[in-house]
Amino acid sequence: MFKPNRLCLKSGARRLALTVLSGALFLNTASAEEIAFSNQDQQQFQEWINTFKQQALSQGISRQTLDMAFTDLTLSDKVLQSDRRQPEFTRTFFEYLQRAVSAARIENGKFNYQQQAELLTQVEAKYGVPGAYLVSFWGMETNYGAYTGYDPIIQSLATLAFDPRRSRFFSKELIAALKILDQGHVTLDDMKGSWAGAMGQVQFMPSNYLKYAVDGDGDGKINLWKSIPDALYSAGNFLNQLGWQAQQEWGEEVKLPEGFDYSLADGKTRRPIQDWQAMGVRTIKGTDLSTKIDSAILVLPGDYRGPAFLAYDNYKVIKRWNNSTNYAIGVGYLADQIRNKPKLSKSRPKDDKGLSYEEITEIQNLLNQLGFNVGKADGIAGSNTRSALRDFQKSIEVPADGYPSLRMLKYLRHAINNA
């Protein structure tokens, strides 16, 4: 299969990998060099298409579908621009929640929960996923179908498959998208979605569409754009296949005792509920933890002043849908609010503000200078940065939550100035 060695971008745009910082959601406000494809790129792309068509034919896709899908197809500079965009700012947990679980989204969720009650009952009976969670995923992904994306899926995937950086992954997704067209589930004109290829009201990638999408309305087609039954049945099937535990919640906000060791809130280490109970962890009302749950992890999405959560098996399932701490808590919290459960007990601190790439890099450099080894300062607040920051916090006798923030940046600057 033909693959270009490089893209001859007119701007000489940098190859920048999109990086997720510990579940934080990036604001798409970053500047990047303008990307525009040269005539040579477009010519190479047409050669690539001809080779790719042969591969698709060998996998059973009809020539008619291929001719239709690739007629007059060109590379999308918008797609590559989005793929290359370097993140400049992260949102804090409270900033994320303010937008993802807004009052309007909660109210719309309650409306849709009631509006689709009969359908949701049917899906839950088949897959074991409560309706409030299905509505929550639906709301988080596309605001209940209000925005499913406008980028032509074939063009997006073909552009990303042509680009050598992740060609293998997106080539497979492109084949899957062509199979969906070939099977007649949706028309080419209607096959639109995100720049990265996610589609429909629950934003499935094409390969997941083929594996998990369900004909919920019984019309013989699976249309995740226009059919709410198809979308919700598909979401239920997907979550079920990912391991959703029926009769179990995602988690709950909890109260931590004075002097608690925040290094235990790593969001990874699962401990028996009895152990958390013995450490002084209680429900937000101050009562004993439920013995109906065997084990849980402790998640602290912000610093010690924010909420803490005991997360159960279904939290892990949510993260298999989208591996983001903020997203997983957002889905669970939105489902709770749809069912009129209590709001969070903690409010947003006045100094709560997302860090820029430069500020995270400065935190790393200052930690290194103070002897708390981070390694190379790369602007990514990973486990090494959090561990080093936790050690620094212990040295100045403040709660060692390991959370990089403007507050901690001020502490570090002060420590350097007084070293």
Question: Inter-axis angle of helices 103-115 and 131-142, to 10 degrees?
Answer: 130
In this predicted structure, the answer to whether residue 20 has a pLDDT above a threshold of 50 is no
pLDDT at 86: 61
pLDDT at 18: 29
Within-domain flag for 124? no
Q: In what order do the strands lie in the sheet with 295-299?
A: 271-272, 295-299, 308-311, 251-255, 282-283
Within-domain flag for 199? no
Task: Give 77-81's long-range contacts (Cβ < 8 A, gap of 24+).
Answer: 77/35, 77/36, 77/37, 78/151, 78/195, 79/151, 79/155, 79/156, 79/159, 79/160, 79/195, 80/7, 80/9, 80/13, 80/35, 80/37, 80/159, 80/160, 80/163, 81/13, 81/32, 81/34, 81/35
pLDDT in tens, 262-313: 989 988 899 999 999 999 999 999 999 998 899 999 999 999 999 999 999 9
CB atoms within 10 A of CB 287: 9
Distance of CA 116 to the CA centre of its chain: 25
pLDDT in tens, 332-350: 999 999 999 999 999 999 9
pLDDT at 87: 64
pLDDT at 37: 82
Within-domain flag for 142? no
Within-domain flag for 9? no
Which percentage of the chain shows pLDDT scores above 90?
Answer: 85
In whole angstroms, give the CA distance from residue 276 to residue 286.
Answer: 13
In this predicted structure, the answer to whether residue 2 has a pLDDT above a threshold of 90 is no
Which percentage of the chain shows pLDDT scores above 70?
Answer: 91
Question: Of how many residues is the chain composed?
Answer: 419
Judging by beta carbons within 10 Å of its beta carbon (0-12, 13-18, 19+), is residue 259 exposed, middle or buried? exposed
Q: What is the mean pLDDT of the chain?
A: 91
Distance of CA 222 to the CA centre of its chain: 24
Question: Using CA atoms in the order 188, 5, 167, 38, what is the torsion angle rounded to 10 degrees?
Answer: -30
Within-domain flag for 286? yes
pLDDT in tens, 354-383: 999 999 999 999 999 999 999 999 998 988
Within-domain flag for 92? no
pLDDT at 151: 97
pLDDT in tens, 241-269: 999 999 999 999 999 999 999 989 988 89
Within-domain flag for 289? yes
Whether the Cβ atoms of residue 207 and residue 216 lie closer than 8 Å to each other? no
In this predicted structure, the answer to whether residue 36 has a pLDDT above a threshold of 90 is no
Q: 189: closest CA among 157, 232, 153, 146?
A: 153
In this predicted structure, the answer to whether residue 398 has a pLDDT above a threshold of 80 is yes
In this predicted structure, the answer to whether residue 155 has a pLDDT above a threshold of 90 is yes
Within-domain flag for 312? no
pLDDT band at 7 (very low <50, low <70, confident <90, very high): low
pLDDT at 38: 86
* Residue-number span of the structural domain to which 272 is assigned: 251-306
- Count of domains observed in the chain: 2
Over range 303-324, report the average pLDDT. 96
Q: Please say which residue of 288, 306, 324 terminates a domain.
A: 306
Looking up residue 384, the CATH number of its domain turns out to be 1.10.101
Q: 345: closest CA among 354, 336, 353?
A: 336
pLDDT in tens, 163-209: 999 999 999 999 999 999 999 999 999 999 999 999 999 999 999 99
Q: Please say which residue of 306, 335, 369 terminates a domain.
A: 306
In this predicted structure, the answer to whether residue 100 has a pLDDT above a threshold of 60 is yes
